[in-house]
Structure 1
């Protein structure tokens, strides 16, 4: 359905309203996911990796597949790969609410394994874009197939490794009091009601997330910004808003492992979406002829993920203000990436 015409100021207002709804839905979903994990005795890292990351990635899924149908290669790739560094920076911003460096909390090596597999997938995507997809079958590049198969193997390995206990547990601080919007009576709410509320939160994220993307694109057109720069900044920011609110809320209620897995899981989903997008993109392999911005986005994704991988291995890290050193380095790298995107726009 075509949205009615709006001025730039009206588009900005609509964008803000949609952002508020997505923010509230994401925050509520984090509380619900935390409660459901406790209720069904599920590992919160697993809930973040498979459930929360998929729910918060719904706008990316819809936007990516829609752009692929419209045969818009740049929009697909810039949105997907530009969102990886941004979402990792979201985890860095969440560190502000943690009591100690957020990467010092995980008791097991799951998150280090998630980061390692993510770096591997990013490296594969960077190699494929560098080679230009030389192997093609039915207009689908072998590279996107390799990424999809590797993603499946990564999820299998992470699920298999979930019960491992290779690392010695560390003492965790007590979670802080529940912040706004603190849900009332979740402990007394039935399972079916919790699932219904989670479903409604997902619908709110999907519907208003898509509207958020539409108005982000309209703002980009009305402001005259370049499509490549918009794809890796404004559009990626719009589709990453659910990850921002769920991650911050998860950290504030002490669900640190769920917050980390939410971001790493969302980034893994961003990569595997290349395969269905390639199936829908009929002008050839979607990774063929990728712009310089795409290569930069993948490279910055590797850098920020590697920084957190080091942070997960080095258990005790200095803090500056309320941020861990690794989170500060991630934020600095993300800001540098914005400058790089602007230069090559």
Structure 2
């Protein structure tokens, strides 16, 4: 592996920016493939968005968290995960701005996304409880880490059950969009598309490693705290695929895919903490982080709860043609980012 610490600051900055472009460009190609696979597999946009698109576009982020945790930077690893979830939730508000017909949460109604958002809140609150509990680790791993993985898998099973036998259905309006409204006409075979998607995951994951290592080196070189670099630097860069793919999905009318991709990606991002705990070899990572990371945990839970309320209420139009939940999400993220920067 390259020795990033020996590189000049300019070279590190160029590598960081170059990797960001790679992640944004190749990550954006995933949305179209995921939309086609959703139609061909019959799993649906919301579920495919949660699993395939969500996990695929998050690969750069998990590589960043694991590599920085293994390098002995727990604060950067955890803040990268939480900052990514906060940024991606805010991206849904930006997608709402891009969808000018009606509030995005109204048109893209899906019971699966309601269930996934609820699971995400659980995945966010559990690390807060681990932080407050007495420090304990077995083979250097906190018992909560496998619990997070189990909750994630249960959440996916729950989403599949909702897809197969829904007990709740959104009220039909003239603005409600359905998966059947978008017909796929890609001439490539499903096998070719799956291989292409896998190749994109490898490219984006490799770029994520470079982002993590250069971000860690720049943190020390410039005297910026790992928490700020993680939550507002590496987190945003590794979340660029979610922003690009969400806007692309909205523009092509795959609204449930767009929302499901963000919520599913956020669920997968919550697993970054568990993966980082395994990679961090100096004990439980939940007790190696500061209150800065705890702040992001609380902010993520709050933003997800507001998003869930927006998905339930399905307001047609709010301020500026977007929903009130989008206004609140933008305000909360901007306020949280400003507060963290002011703290240094």
The residue number in structure 2 matching 1:81 is 82
TM-score (norm 2): 0.88
Distance in 2, Cα, partners of 1:320 & 1:219: 39
Q: CA distance change for structure 1 residues 213 and 76 in 2, over 3 Å: closer, same or farther?
A: closer
Alignment length (residue pairs)? 335
Displaced runs of 4+ in structure 1, greater than 6 A? none
Higher mean alpha-carbon deviation, 195-204 vs 289-298, is at 195-204
The residue number in structure 2 matching 1:182 is none
Q: CA distance change for structure 1 residues 123 and 62 in 2, over 3 Å: closer, same or farther?
A: same
Shift of residue 61, structure 1, vs aligned partner: 1.8
Contact 1:317 / 1:325 at 8 angstroms: preserved in 2? no
Deviations along 1:130-152, whole A, 9 cap, x unmatched? 2244x443332223233222222
Extract unaligned runs of 5+ from structure 1. Answer: 176-184
Distance in 1, Cα, partners of 2:279 & 2:185: 41
The residue number in structure 2 matching 1:181 is none
Distance in 1, Cα, partners of 2:311 & 2:323: 11
Extract unaligned runs of 5+ from structure 2. Answer: 179-183
Distance in 2, Cα, partners of 1:42 & 1:143: 30
Shift of residue 295, structure 1, vs aligned partner: 0.7
The residue number in structure 1 matching 2:296 is 297
- Cα RMSD after superposing both structures: 2.4
Output aligned runs, 1:29-68, within 5 Å.
29-68=30-69
Contact 1:217 / 1:235 at 8 angstroms: preserved in 2? no
Q: CA distance change for structure 1 residues 94 and 235 in 2, over 3 Å: closer, same or farther?
A: same
Higher mean alpha-carbon deviation, 110-119 vs 166-175, is at 166-175
Contact 1:132 / 1:287 at 8 angstroms: preserved in 2? no
Shift of residue 105, structure 1, vs aligned partner: 2.2
Shift of residue 298, structure 1, vs aligned partner: 0.3
Deviations along 1:22-64, whole A, 9 cap, x unmatched? 2221221111111222233330111101111111111122122
Contact 2:64 / 2:213 at 8 angstroms: preserved in 1? no
Shift of residue 3, structure 1, vs aligned partner: 5.6
Which of the pair is proportionally richer in helix?
2
Shift of residue 165, structure 1, vs aligned partner: 5.2
TM-score (norm 1): 0.88
The residue number in structure 1 matching 2:181 is none
Q: CA distance change for structure 1 residues 14 and 267 in 2, over 3 Å: closer, same or farther?
A: same
Higher mean alpha-carbon deviation, 246-255 vs 37-46, is at 37-46
Are residue 109 (structure 1) and residue 108 (structure 2) matched? no
Distance in 1, Cα, partners of 2:228 & 2:210: 20
Contact 1:311 / 1:317 at 8 angstroms: preserved in 2? no
Distance in 2, Cα, partners of 1:94 & 1:215: 29
Are residue 22 (structure 1) and residue 26 (structure 2) matched? no
Distance in 2, Cα, partners of 1:207 & 1:289: 27
Shift of residue 116, structure 1, vs aligned partner: 1.4
